[in-house]
Amino acid sequence: MACFAVALGVIVLCGFISLPAAKDTCDLYAAVGESLTLPFVYNGLTNSHVLRWTHNKKIIYYREKGKVSVGNSLVISATGTPLLKNLQSSSAGTYQVTVLHSNGTVANTWTGHLCILDKVSKPQLTYTCDSSAVNLNCYVANPQGLVFTWTLDGNDLTSETKQKLSISLAQLLGQRSFTCSVANKVSKEKSDVVRPTCKSPTLLCFPSKTVVAVVAGGAGLILLLLIIIVALCCRHRCNKTSVKDKGGLRMLSLSKREPDSTSRVYETMHPSEDCYETVSQSEAQTENKPSELTTAAEGVQPSPVPKPRTKSPQTPNV
Ligand SMILES: *[C@@H]1O[C@H](CO)[C@@H](O)[C@H](O)[C@H]1NC(C)=O
C-alpha cells in the first residue's frame, strides 16, 4: 500500500514536472516513423547564400555557393527547408537554420524544437457500477500527458477531460452510449462504444417498480388460476352429483316440505349453493349414509327459502 502510494506520488509528480517543461520546449511534434517538413521558408534563397542547418548544435547541412559540403542525403526544398524522413526518437531536439548573404551578413534564421512522440494506442473503455453511479475508465497503458475526451450519445462532454468519468445513475436512464478518446500531439484514438448497464444498483430504484409489478402480476395470475380451477371443479362435481346422486342432493336442496319430490328440482342457478352442497354430498358419499347427513344438514340449517319450483327442469335420467 505504501509502495503504491509512493509510486502514485512519483507518477503524479513526474507528470506535473514533465508536462509544463515539455510544453515549454516543444514547438514541433511528430510521431515515430513519420516524415516532417520543418516550417521554415526563405523565399529569396539563391545559390549565392550560405545555408546551414544544425540539429542539437551539430551541423547536418551546409551549402555555400551551391556546393553542399555536409548532409548530401538531406532533401532541401527551394526555400531551404529540409524534409525529415522516418523520424526516430533520436530525431528530437533543436533544429536551427542560418542563411547568410554572400557578404557574410545573416539573411534569415530560425530555431525550432522537435518532440517525437509515440502514437497513442486505442483506449479500452471499461466501467464499473456502484450504488449511485457508473464509473468509466478510459484505459491506456501510459496515460501521462495524454488528453482525454468523452462523448455521451455522440455529443462531446467538453467539461470532461480526465481519464475517468463518473456519471450518476439518474443521468444514465435509458440507453446511453459512451466513447472516450485519447490524444497526444501527434495522434488520437477513439474507444469502442460502450453502453453501460448497471443492473444491481438500478434494482434499488427504478426496477423496484418492476419487481412489484411482476410480483403483483404473478399473484394475480395465481389467483386467477385458482378461481378458474375452483370454478371448473365445482362445475365438474356438480355435474357428477347431479347425475349420480340425485336422491341425496334432492334431500339437501329441497326442504322437507317437499316429501313427494317426484319432480326433482335441481337448482343449477346457484352454483355457490350447489358447491357447498356438493362438498357435503361428497362427504356423504364416502360415508354412504346420505340420509343421516341430510337430517344433520337440515337440523343445522333453518329451512331454506322456498325454491320456486316452476316447471321442474327434469333431468333426463331419472
Ligand atoms: C549584404 O548583402 C545583402 C544582400 O545582398 C544586403 O542587403 C546587405 O545590406 C549587405 N550587408 C552589408 C553589410 O554589406
Residues 145 and 71 in one domain: no
71 close to 137: Cβ distance less than 8 angstroms? no
Kindly state if the Cβ of 105 falls inside 6 Å of ligand 1: yes
Q: How far are the Cα atoms of 237, 241, 250 from residue 291, in angstroms, in the given order?
A: 20, 15, 11
265 close to 253: Cβ distance less than 8 angstroms? yes
Residue 176 forms part of a structural domain: yes
Residues 111 and 42 in one domain: yes
Is the pLDDT assigned to residue 105 strictly greater than 60?
yes
Residues 132 and 83 in one domain: no
Residue 298 forms part of a structural domain: no
Q: From atom 5 of ligand 1, which residue's Cα is the shortest distance away?
A: 101
Residues 131 and 55 in one domain: no
Residues 136 and 94 in one domain: no
Residue 69 forms part of a structural domain: yes
Give me the count of residues in the chain.
318
Report how far ligand 1's centroid is from the alpha carbon of 40 (Å): 21
pLDDT for the residue numbered 171: 81
121 close to 190: Cβ distance less than 8 angstroms? no
Lowest mean pLDDT among 17-31, 71-85, 103-117, 219-233: 17-31
266/41: higher pLDDT:
41
d(CA 312, CA 230): 28
pLDDT for the residue numbered 230: 66
pLDDT for the residue numbered 83: 94
Residues 151 and 111 in one domain: no
Domain boundary among 173, 201, 229: 201
Residue 82: exposure state from Cβ atoms within 10 A (0-12, 13-18, ≥19): buried
Residue 295 forms part of a structural domain: no
Going by pLDDT thresholds of 50, 70 and 90, the confidence category of residue 173 is confident
pLDDT for the residue numbered 296: 45
- Average pLDDT of span 64-77: 93
Find, among 158, 139, 141, the residue nearest to 149 by Cα. 158
Range of the domain at 142: 124-201
Angle in degrees, 0-180, between the axes of helices 246-253 and 290-300, rounded to the nearest 10: 10
**Whole-structure pTM value:** 0.51
Domain boundary among 201, 236, 270: 201
Residues 96 and 183 in one domain: no
Report how far ligand 1's centroid is from the alpha carbon of 84 (Å): 31
Kindly state if the Cβ of 103 falls inside 6 Å of ligand 1: yes
Report how far ligand 1's centroid is from the alpha carbon of 49 (Å): 11
pLDDT for the residue numbered 170: 84
Residue 98 forms part of a structural domain: yes
Residues 137 and 108 in one domain: no
Kindly state if the Cβ of 104 falls inside 6 Å of ligand 1: no
143 close to 126: Cβ distance less than 8 angstroms? no
Which mutation among 46, 101, 108 tests ligand 1's pocket best, with the greatest number of atoms within 8 A of CB? 101
202-253 residue pLDDT tens? 444 444 555 445 556 666 676 777 777 667 766 766 565 554 444 444 444 4
Is the pLDDT assigned to residue 175 strictly greater than 50?
yes
294 close to 248: Cβ distance less than 8 angstroms? yes
Report how far ligand 1's centroid is from the alpha carbon of 82 (Å): 25
53 close to 96: Cβ distance less than 8 angstroms? yes
| Nearest ligand 1 atom, CA 104 | 1
Residues 153 and 97 in one domain: no
CATH number of 48's domain: 2.60.40.10
Residue 47 forms part of a structural domain: yes
| Nearest ligand 1 atom, CA 103 | 1
Highest mean pLDDT among 152-166, 191-205, 220-234, 249-263: 152-166
146/252: higher pLDDT:
146
Highest mean pLDDT among 65-79, 234-248, 254-268: 65-79
Dihedral angle sign, alpha carbons of residues 251, 255, 257, 262? negative
Q: Quote the number of domains for the chain.
A: 2
Report how far ligand 1's centroid is from the alpha carbon of 50 (Å): 13
Residue 177 forms part of a structural domain: yes
Residue 72 forms part of a structural domain: yes
pLDDT for the residue numbered 19: 46
50-65 residue pLDDT tens? 999 999 999 999 999 9
Domain boundary among 63, 95, 117: 117
Report how far ligand 1's centroid is from the alpha carbon of 48 (Å): 12
To the nearest whole number, what is the mean pLDDT of the chain? 74
Residues 74 and 146 in one domain: no
Is the pLDDT assigned to residue 68 strictly greater than 90?
yes
Residues 112 and 138 in one domain: no
